[in-house]
Amino acid sequence: MLDRFPFRPKEEPIIDMMLSICNIKILNIKKPSMKAPSDRQIRATQLRAQINRYDYYYYVLDTPEIPDAEYDRLFQELQALETADPKLITPDSPTRRVGGKPLEAFASVRHRLPMLSIRTETDTGPDGARAFDAQVRRELELSEDAAPVEYACELKFDGLAINLRYENGLLVQATTRGDGETGEDVTQNIRTIKSVPLRLRGVAPEVLEVRGEAYMSRSDFERYNARQRAASLPTLVNPRNGAAGSIRQLDPTLAAKRPLSFFVYGLGEVQGWALPATHSAVLDALAIFGLPVSVERAVSLGADGLSAFHDAIAARRDLLPFAIDGVVYKVNRLDWQRHLGFRTREPRWAVAHKFPAQEELTVVEAIEVQVGRTGAITPVARLKPVFVGGVTVTNATLHNADEVARKDVRVGDTVIVRRAGDVIPEVVSVVLDRRPADTLPFVMPKTCPVCGSHIVRPEEEAVARCIGGLYCRAQRKEAIRHFASRRAMDIEGLGDKLVEQLIDQEYVQGPADLYALDTATLTGLERMGAKSAANLIDALERSKTTTLARFLYALGIREVGEATAMTLATHFGTLEALIAADADALRQAPDVGPVVAAAIRAFFQEPHNQQVIGRLQATGVRWPDVARQPVTTASLAGKTFVLTGALDSLTRDQAADRLRVLGAKVSGSVSKRTDYVVAGHEAGSKLDKAQALGVTVLDEAGLLALLDQLKAEDSQ
Ligand code: IVH
């Protein structure tokens, strides 16, 4: 079909310019046939060109051009034309991405050029970059005062290596690496990847083999697993396994259900293209052919340049929409690459500099349950210590009984533990073939291991709870810890160990008992000298002067976190008004729905809680009344702030209080919805994320100026 009716897409002048810069020979332009195309042929060709263009913008450039519904209409129109007249079908038609029948097995394909791997630098620290640069300079026999070597720096994608072969611009074959000499023909499945062009843009070389990585993005991985979970089907362990499973799926319609993406990072066989001089220019040219090339790459100079790239990417690792396990450095000049050549199976001109692993294997030594402040029972795996994600991990949460059952984690199992960024470590999955013979499934205890009360799990809830309430020591301890915590009553020096002793020795039953403690009692406790006891008494005294918001948060009312406590304080102004409010009045406060309103009502109606509040006020706990102020008219209403790093003139908590008084929401994590990030000294990943997302960043001076300005406006 194409022979009789060639279609030359309209080329932007820039492409022609780049092709001439990249020295691309124009070959194989077929002469148009004399026979006039039918209307249907013309329409099908138009549709294919349009859809391919939209796919390119959507999947390669990440900038959708039209709404999904319009895309679907065009796609369906093309499908209908092709079904009515199959002669209209071309091999690069977007409808052919999923067309093949299930295969019996993958055919073996001998690579025209071997698919080699690269050496991994074992030192995950900054010396890794230095060692590679030193080796390159030695092998190129560069003198000490020679200019720094130029490198192409890229991400090390964590997926499956694939060779794509294009002949005259048309995708003809996709193969796995296999043993490097022979791979498997996975063309059908690779065709389902929307970012892989079925036809190259512009005028392509006669033969162009490109090499790259098929991978599963984090969002596709999550979406796939959520769907599987909902259908009680097996989930994928990690995106890499997802990619491998999808590519090795014999039925391409099933492969298409596990969507993959692709990045190109190098070349295989090439005919009819005089290559540019550097690797980075090759990648630029491949991008112009419409191939997906990651924008996360750089050309850098010398060991310092490599280290800077490594560190910048390491800081953003968890923010990327796909998994990487390190970075790759390549000598940029292709003539130097040829000169350096290969050592056995690895090029001397490239190295992979890995990041510390985020997943490791270890053994579950016990599964225990923890009782939280609200009685929530969380199963926790006690692990043989393992170094993962940069720290030694000994515990990993198993979330709840359903999670344990789904993953079927048992004592004695070897498991994959994951720790990424600051997220708490979790058990990803069990390595079943390492399971000892005599293991038993985990059973949730029927009674609380701390107080012996029943553990109850309401039918529609995931969480089981000890119903012991404040009778349960574990819950009492957690309630006191929470009451004393920095963002609640801020009782300095009342640490976990001390709370344990005070509850275990029954000096403290509830929060009001804290204010009855005296020096004699305190000095009788372990590791408590006269000085620390006096300091604690002072701290208790200081904590009595607080704010209504802190006090409400400290009470530990279900559903009332810091932000809601602040809203309630500003909305109602006094504790009395809040206690008097019925469900309707409560729901007038911003962000208070029926569940929160019910929890607040239930708390204040409970006589025991009324007593606790009365006793606390009797010991002198007090706060200034908040001038009643509808939050919506406050100057920062609707704005979300994130504070990170250390400030000089005030603590982060003080800054947060001042922002909240003006109606701002203060959140712990940066997202697209964050309006401002206030960055003090040594601000870390939150600042990076803010910059990556383009969120406005204020320094301390900027924050103070903003607060002053709003105060001035307020008093006008
Ligand atoms: S270059 C001859 N660049 O890492 C050099 N490999 O061997 C060929 N990988 O499985 C490899 N990202 O698939 C190169 N930017 C990148 C890469 C990369 C990931 C994979 C590759 C191979 C392994 C290293």
- Closest ligand 1 atom to residue 352 Cα is 24
Of all protein residues, whose CA lies closest to atom 21 belonging to ligand 1?
Answer: 161
Q: Which range in 162-166, 583-587, 604-608, 678-682 is most confidently predicted, on average pLDDT?
A: 162-166
Q: Is 189 exposed, middle or buried (0-12, 13-18, 19+ CB in 10 A)?
A: buried
Of all protein residues, whose CA lies closest to atom 2 belonging to ligand 1?
Answer: 116
Please determine, for residue 355, whether its predicted confidence score (pLDDT) is greater than 90.
no
What would the pLDDT profile of 78-128 be if each residue is shown by its tens digit?
A: 999 999 999 999 988 998 887 667 777 889 999 999 998 898 887 777 788
- In angstroms, how far apart are the furthest CA atoms of the chain? 106
Mention every residue, 6+ apart, whose C-beta is less than 8 A from residue 14.
none
Tokens for 225, please give them. 């697993």
What would the pLDDT profile of 620-649 be if each residue is shown by its tens digit?
A: 999 987 765 444 456 788 889 999 988 888
pLDDT at 100: 67
Cα distance between the two ends of the chain: 77
DSSP 1-21: -TTTS---PPPPHHHHHHHHH
List strand residue ranges (DSSP E) for 93-159, in order: 108-110, 119-121, 150-157
The values of phi and psi at residue 244, to 5°, are -60, -45
Mean pLDDT confidence for 457-462: 83
Q: Is the CB of 213 inside a 6 Å radius of any atom of ligand 1?
A: yes
- The question of whether 156 is a catalytic residue gets the answer yes
In the sheet where 150-157 sits, what is the strand order?
119-121, 350-354, 324-331, 150-157, 298-301
Do 599 and 552 form a contact (C-beta atoms < 8 A)? no
What would the pLDDT profile of 247-277 be if each residue is shown by its tens digit?
A: 988 888 888 888 999 999 999 999 999 999 9
Q: What is the DSSP letter of 371?
A: E
- Could you give the 3-state DSSP secondary structure of residue 97? helix
Of 408 and 470, the one with more pLDDT: 408
Q: Is the CB of 154 inside a 6 Å radius of any atom of ligand 1?
A: yes
Of 665 and 123, the one with more pLDDT: 665
pLDDT at 30: 46
pLDDT band at 229 (very low <50, low <70, confident <90, very high): confident
Report the separation in Å between the CA atom of 179 and the middle of ligand 1, taken as the mean of its atom positions. 14
Mention every residue, 6+ apart, whose C-beta is less than 8 A from residue 355.
124, 314, 317, 324, 325, 326, 327
Pocket test for ligand 1, best of 117, 119, 120, 151 (most atoms within 8 A of CB): 117
In the sheet where 696-698 sits, what is the strand order?
665-667, 640-644, 676-679, 696-698
The Cα 405–Cα 399 span in angstroms is: 11
Helix (H) or strand (E) holding 642: strand 640-644
**Residue 105 burial (CB count, 10 A):** 8
- Could you give the 3-state DSSP secondary structure of residue 25? coil
The mean pLDDT of the chain is 87
List strand residue ranges (DSSP E) for 158-260, in order: 160-167, 170-176, 182-184, 207-215
Q: Which of 342, 24, 338, 56 is nearest to 208 (CA)?
A: 24
- Cα–Cα–Cα angle for 130, 285, 332, nearest 5°? 20
Compute CA 365 distance to the chain's CA centroid, rounded to the nearest angstrom.
29
3-state helix, strand, coil in the chain (%, to 5): 40, 20, 40
The Cα 628–Cα 612 span in angstroms is: 25
Please determine, for residue 131, whether its predicted confidence score (pLDDT) is greater than 60.
yes
**Residue 716 burial (CB count, 10 A):** 5
Active-site residue, from 156, 194, 330, 477: 156
Q: Is the CB of 350 inside a 6 Å radius of any atom of ligand 1?
A: yes
- Could you give the 3-state DSSP secondary structure of residue 505? coil
Pocket test for ligand 1, best of 113, 116, 118 (most atoms within 8 A of CB): 118
Which residues, in sequence order, are bridge partners of residue 327? Answer: 155, 353
The values of phi and psi at residue 574, to 5°, are -130, 155
- Closest ligand 1 atom to residue 346 Cα is 2
Q: Is the CB of 157 inside a 6 Å radius of any atom of ligand 1?
A: yes
Report the separation in Å between the CA atom of 416 and the middle of ligand 1, taken as the mean of its atom positions. 24
Report the separation in Å between the CA atom of 666 and the middle of ligand 1, taken as the mean of its atom positions. 42
Strand 640-644 with 676-679, pairing: parallel
Q: Is the CB of 156 inside a 6 Å radius of any atom of ligand 1?
A: yes
What would the pLDDT profile of 207-226 be if each residue is shown by its tens digit?
A: 999 999 999 999 999 999 88
What would the pLDDT profile of 364-379 be if each residue is shown by its tens digit?
A: 999 999 999 889 999 9
Residue located via tokens 């026999």: 141
Report the separation in Å between the CA atom of 521 and the middle of ligand 1, taken as the mean of its atom positions. 65
What would the pLDDT profile of 9-61 be if each residue is shown by its tens digit?
A: 333 344 444 444 444 444 444 444 557 788 999 999 999 999 988 888 888 88
pLDDT at 713: 57
Q: Is the CB of 113 inside a 6 Å radius of any atom of ligand 1?
A: no
Q: Is the CB of 162 inside a 6 Å radius of any atom of ligand 1?
A: no
pLDDT at 14: 45
Which residues, in sequence order, are bridge partners of residue 182? Answer: 110
Mention every residue, 6+ apart, whose C-beta is less than 8 A from residue 369.
377, 378, 379, 380, 444, 445, 449
pLDDT at 199: 95
Report the separation in Å between the CA atom of 154 and the middle of ligand 1, taken as the mean of its atom positions. 10
Please determine, for residue 423, whether its predicted confidence score (pLDDT) is greater than 60.
yes
Q: Which of 646, 453, 482 is nearest to 557 (CA)?
A: 482
What would the pLDDT profile of 380-404 be if each residue is shown by its tens digit?
A: 999 999 988 878 999 999 988 888 9
Handedness of CA 93, 95, 98, 101 (dihedral sign): negative
- Closest ligand 1 atom to residue 116 Cα is 2
Distances (CA, A) of 410 to 360, 395, 404, 445: 17, 14, 8, 15
Do 58 and 74 form a contact (C-beta atoms < 8 A)? no
pLDDT at 13: 41
